[in-house]
C-alpha cells in the first residue's frame, strides 16, 4: 500500500486548523478529506473508507468524544487510527479521549514535525494490521477447505447451508455424489493415483457449480456434497447432469469398474421445494436415500427426489448400511431417512410426514425415556418399531393400541409391510 493510496479524514470545524494541516501534509501525497462537524464526518464514513482520522474535540453538535464512540461502534472489527486534536493537554482529557476510542492526541497549535511523525508511525501500524488481517483471512479460507481436493470441508458446508435454510423460505436442493467402485480403483491403481483421481473429480464438480450459492464439499472419502440455494429439483438435475458430463470428459481409466472403462459417478438429489425443510440433516438424509437408489439400480446415473408429501420410513440407527440391506424389499415404497442422533429425530418430527419409526437396540432405552419426543410421536400417530441389528422385531409400540406384542419376534420387513398395510 503506497502513501498515495492513503486517505486521511480530518474532522475539524476550524478553517485555520484545516489550512494548517493541509499545508503540513501537502508534500506527503496523501488524499485529504475535510469535514466541519462530527455529523458530516459520520456521513462521509457511511459512504467511504479511510486509512486514518484526525478528530477535533470541541465542535458544534456532537463533540469529538461522542463522535469517536460512534465511529468505533460503526467500524466494529475494522480498525482505523483516530487521533484527537485539542488544545487541552490535561491527563483527564487525554484519558477521556482514549476511553472514547481514540488512539492518540495531537496538541494544538499543531507542529508540522509532530503531525508528520504521527502519521508515519500510524501508517506503519495500518500496514502491519492489514497484512495480519490478510494472513488471517487466508488461514480462515484454508481451514474451511479440504486439504486434498480444495473443496470446502463439512463444517463450513454445514454452516453455509444452515445460513440459507434459516433465511427466507426458498427452494433448496442437495446433491450427494459417490465415485463408482472407488475402493476397487484404489486397490487397482494405488492410493496415490487414487488421490489424483479425487482431485480431478473434485475440480470437475467445482467447475460445474453455477454461482456463490452453490457450496461444494468433500463429504467423505470418495463422496462429495453440494448445497444449491434457491434451486428446485429440475434445476438441480441440470447441475448434476453437467457434473456427470464433466467427470466423463476426464476419461480417467478404471479397468476395475463394473459399469464403464473409465471413472463414473452416482448422484442423488433431494429438493425441499414441497416441504420447505429448514434443517440440513433431513435434506442430506433424503439425498443419501436417492444416492443409495442410484447405486442400487446399477450406478453411473442420477436419481432425484423431491418432498412431495413424503411417506418416509425413518430409521434411528448408527448402522444404516445394515438396515438398508434388511429393508431392501420395502425401500421402493418409502423414502428411507436414516438418523444417528436422537436430537435430530425431535427436529424432523414437525417437518417430515412419517408414520413408521424403526429404532435399533442402541437407541431403544434413550427413546423410551425421552418424553418430549414420545409426545411428538404420539401426536403424529407414529408406530415405533424396536428392532435388533439382525432385523428381528422386539416390540412395536403403536400409540393408538399401545404395545403390539403380536409383532414380537417377527422379521422386520414383514412387520413394516403389515404396519403400512
* C-beta neighbour count of 361 within 10 angstroms: 13
The residues pairing with 383 across neighbouring beta strands, listed in sequence order, are: 356, 398
The residues near 360 (Cβ < 8 Å, ≥ 6 apart) are 315, 316, 317, 318, 319, 323, 387, 388, 389
From edge to edge, which strands make up the β-sheet containing 223-228? 214-220, 223-228, 173-179, 265-271, 302-306
> Which of 188, 177, 186 has the alpha carbon at shortest distance from 219?
177
C-alpha angle with apex 273: 268 to 278, nearest 5 degrees?
90
CA atoms within 13 A on the CB side of 252: 26
- Residue whose C-alpha cell reads 446415473 in the numeric block: 301
The residues pairing with 337 across neighbouring beta strands, listed in sequence order, are: 314
- Residue whose C-alpha cell reads 484545516 in the numeric block: 18
Which residues are tagged catalytic?
Answer: 222
Backbone angles phi, psi at 274, to 5 degrees: -95, -40
334: left (phi over 0), alpha (psi -120 to 50) or beta: beta
| H or E element, residue 35 | strand 31-35
Residue 262 DSSP class: B
3-state secondary structure of 304: strand
> Which of 126, 65, 60 has the alpha carbon at shortest distance from 92?
65
Distance CA 246, CA 128 (A): 43
Q: E-assigned strands of 319-401?
A: 335-339, 354-360, 383-387, 393-398
3-state secondary structure of 223: strand
Q: Tell me if 8 sits within 8 A of 30, measured CB to CB.
A: yes
C-alpha angle with apex 357: 307 to 286, nearest 5 degrees?
30
Amino acid at each position: 500500500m503506497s502513501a498515495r493510496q492513503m486517505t486521511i479524514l480530518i474532522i475539524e470545524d476550524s478553517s485555520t486548523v484545516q489550512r494548517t494541516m493541509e499545508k503540513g501534509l501537502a508534500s506527503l501525497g496523501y488524499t485529504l478529506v475535510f469535514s466541519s462537524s462530527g455529523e458530516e464526518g459520520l456521513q462521509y464514513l457511511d459512504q467511504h473508507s479511510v486509512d486514518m482520522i484526525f478528530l477535533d474535540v470541541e465542535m458544534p453538535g456532537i463533540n469529538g468524544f461522542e463522535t469517536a464512540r460512534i465511529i468505533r461502534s460503526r467500524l466494529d472489527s475494522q480498525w482505523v487510527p483516530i487521533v484527537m486534536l485539542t488544545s487541552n493537554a490535561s491527563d483527564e482529557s487525554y484519558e477521556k479521549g482514549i476511553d472514547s476510542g481514540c488512539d492518540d492526541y495531537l496538541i494544538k497549535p499543531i507542529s508540522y514535525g509532530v503531525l508528520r511523525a504521527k502519521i508515519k508511525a500510524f501508517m506503519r501500524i495500518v500496514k502491519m494490521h492489514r497484512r495480519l488481517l490478510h494472513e488471517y483471512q487466508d488461514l480462515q479460507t484454508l481451514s474451511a477447505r479440504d486439504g486434498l481436493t480444495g473443496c470446502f470441508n463439512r463444517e463450513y458446508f454445514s454452516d453455509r447451508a444452515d445460513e440459507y435454510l434459516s433465511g427466507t423460505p426458498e427452494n433448496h436442493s442437495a446433491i450427494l455424489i459417490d465415485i463408482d467402485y472407488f475402493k476397487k480403483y484404489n486397490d487397482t491403481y494405488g492410493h496415490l493415483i487414487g488421490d489424483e483421481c479425487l482431485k480431478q473429480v473434485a475440480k470437475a464438480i467445482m467447475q460445474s457449480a453455477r454461482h456463490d450459492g452453490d457450496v461444494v464439499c468433500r463429504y467423505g472419502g470418495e463422496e462429495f456434497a453440494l448445497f444449491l440455494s434457491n434451486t428446485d429439483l429440475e434445476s438441480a438435475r441440470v447441475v448434476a447432469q453437467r457434473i456427470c458430463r464433466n467427470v466423463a470428459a476426464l476419461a480417467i481409466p478404471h479397468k476395475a469398474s463394473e459399469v464403464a472403462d473409465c471413472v463414473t459417478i452416482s448422484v442423488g438429489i433431494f429438493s425441499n421445494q414441497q416441504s420447505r425443510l429448514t434443517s440440513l440433516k433431513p435434506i442430506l438424509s433424503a439425498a443419501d436415500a436417492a444416492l443409495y437408489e442410484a447405486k442400487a439400480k446399477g450406478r453411473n446415473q442420477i436419481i432425484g427426489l423431491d418432498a412431495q408429501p413424503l411417506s418416509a420410513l425413518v430409521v434411528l440407527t448408527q448402522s444404516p448400511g445394515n438396515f438398508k440391506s434388511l429393508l431392501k424389499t420395502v425401500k421402493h415404497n418409502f423414502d428411507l431417512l436414516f438418523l444417528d442422533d436422537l436430537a435430530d429425530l425431535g427436529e424432523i418430527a414437525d417437518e417430515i410426514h412419517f408414520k413408521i419409526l424403526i429404532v435399533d437396540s442402541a437407541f431403544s432405552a434413550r427413546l423410551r425415556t425421552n418424553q418430549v419426543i414420545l409426545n411428538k410421536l404420539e401426536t403424529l400417530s407414529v408406530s415405533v418399531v424396536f428392532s435388533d441389528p439382525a432385523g428381528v422385531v422386539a416390540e412395536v409400540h403403536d400409540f393408538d393400541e399401545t404395545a403390539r406384542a403380536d409383532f414380537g419376534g417377527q422379521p422386520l420387513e414383514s412387520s413394516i409391510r403389515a404396519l403400512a398395510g
